[in-house]
């Protein structure tokens, strides 16, 4: 599970020295659209009456959906977290690292986040504004709001079984449409599409079956005409500047993740005096460093300082491999590996292991 016990002052010193202090602040502490809600989670008050969205969504469906289904996600999430040592994680962290928690936590954290967003982006009297920030972005990405509605409707209609259709901000700050199964969303590490959702449509049957029965397409048409575009615009402007987006960008950096995996598998045993992993895998360690250098660096991290740190990893890992081949003593190898660990964390931030 997630462990942030790494020496923070040492990491911050390294980050200052490499000139990526701003990124460090983003990684070490951030807020999100839901202001990093924490345990115990609560069911927020619905911002309108149960019948406020009629005829798009009937009052009975709204009451059951909110007071039964969403309330159950909140209750089940709190029960799943209680006493298990995971109470300390914010909702952001539960989503970002959903794959590291069990399915009960993943599903109910997603259910709470997703429904909290849904209630806030629905209204009958807040139409699309082409002059708003999100309006301009929608027109740039999709040509028109009608084109976007078509894509969202298709995403929702073709999602097999239960799930969600999303409009989200990608890590390169573009708008995109996707769907997800169950209660997943683009923030999660388990999602193939990563970013921050700004509009979500629930396509679980409980969201529409009382009124629309099996006519999911009719429900999608109706609900997409009941969007609170002022709220979506707020979500968009917050997402564009959110540190969470940079965190997702970093977490999606596959070459960095691969190097992190071998760093964790070799460095942490060395802290206990076990040099066998690095002696057996120094060649792989060197290859992963080179792959990191050869791969695409995400835009927010494509700086001279980060490139310099990666070059140091490549050079240092080659030197470490030579030490291993020449059967250097444990103290020499341990020191070199520790130095590379420090360099690595000028890019990665605090350990999660």
The model's pLDDT over 170-220, given as tens digits with 9 standing for 90+, comes to: 999 999 999 999 999 999 999 999 999 999 999 999 999 999 999 999 999
Q: Are residues 19 and 37 in the same domain?
A: no
How would you class 101 by CB atoms within 10 Å of its CB: exposed for 0-12, middle for 13-18, buried for 19 or more?
buried
**Is there a domain that residue 82 lies in?**
yes
Q: Are residues 180 and 255 in the same domain?
A: no
Q: Are residues 80 and 62 in the same domain?
A: yes
Indicate the residue among 191, 210, 241 that finishes a domain.
241
Q: Are residues 208 and 312 in the same domain?
A: no
First to last CA, the chain: 6
Q: Are residues 43 and 138 in the same domain?
A: yes
Indicate the residue among 211, 241, 271 that finishes a domain.
241
Instruction: Please give the model's pTM, rounded to 2 decimal places.
Output: 0.84
Q: Which domain holds residue 286?
A: 8-24+250-348
DSSP bridge pairs for 175: 169
Q: Are residues 62 and 204 in the same domain?
A: yes
Q: Are residues 125 and 230 in the same domain?
A: yes
Q: Are residues 151 and 174 in the same domain?
A: yes
Residues 82-129 pLDDT 10s: 999 999 999 999 999 999 999 999 999 999 999 999 999 999 999 999
Q: Are residues 169 and 275 in the same domain?
A: no
Residues 9-43 pLDDT 10s: 333 333 333 333 333 333 333 334 454 589 999 99
Question: 36: cis peptide before it, omega within 30°?
Answer: no
The count of domains in the chain is: 2
């Amino acid at each position: 599970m997630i462990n942030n016990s790494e020496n923070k002052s040492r990491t911050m010193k390294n980050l200052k020295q490499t000139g990526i202090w701003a990124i460090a602040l983003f990684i070490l502490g951030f807020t999100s659209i839901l202001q990093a809600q924490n345990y115990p989670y609560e069911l927020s008050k619905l911002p309108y009456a149960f019948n406020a969205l009629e005829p798009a969504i009937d009052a009975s469906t709204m009451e059951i959906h909110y007071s039964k289904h969403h309330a159950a996600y909140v209750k089940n999430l709190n029960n799943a977290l209680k006493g298990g040592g995971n109470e300390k994680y914010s909702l952001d962290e539960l989503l970002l690292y959903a794959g590291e928690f069990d399915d009960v936590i993943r599903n109910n954290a997603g259910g709470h986040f997703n429904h909290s967003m849904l209630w806030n982006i629905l209204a009958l009297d807040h139409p699309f504004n082409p002059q708003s920030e999100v309006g301009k972005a929608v027109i740039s990405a999709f040509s028109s709001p009608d084109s976007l509605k078509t894509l969202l409707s298709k995403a929702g209609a073709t999602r097999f079984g239960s799930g969600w259709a999303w409009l989200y901000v990608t890590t390169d700050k573009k708008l995109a449409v996707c769907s997800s199964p169950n209660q997943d969303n683009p923030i999660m590490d388990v999602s193939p599409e990563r970013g921050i959702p700004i509009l979500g449509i629930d396509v679980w049957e409980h969201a529409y079956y009382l009124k629309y029965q099996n006519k999911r397409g009719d429900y999608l048409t109706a609900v997409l005409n009941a969007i609170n575009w002022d709220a979506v615009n707020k979500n968009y402007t917050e997402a564009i500047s959110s540190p969470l987006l940079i965190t997702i960008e970093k977490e999606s950096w596959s070459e960095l993740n691969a190097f992190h995996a071998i760093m964790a598998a070799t460095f942490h045993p060395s802290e206990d005096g076990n040099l066998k992993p690095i002696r057996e895998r120094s060649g792989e360690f060197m290859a992963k460093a080179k792959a990191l250098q050869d791969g695409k660096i995400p835009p927010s991290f494509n700086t001279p300082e980060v490139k310099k740190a990666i070059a140091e990893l490549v050079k240092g890992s080659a030197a470490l491999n030579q030490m291993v081949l020449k059967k250097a003593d444990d103290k020499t190898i341990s020191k070199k590996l520790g130095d590379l660990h420090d360099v690595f964390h000028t890019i990665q931030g605090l350990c999660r292991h």
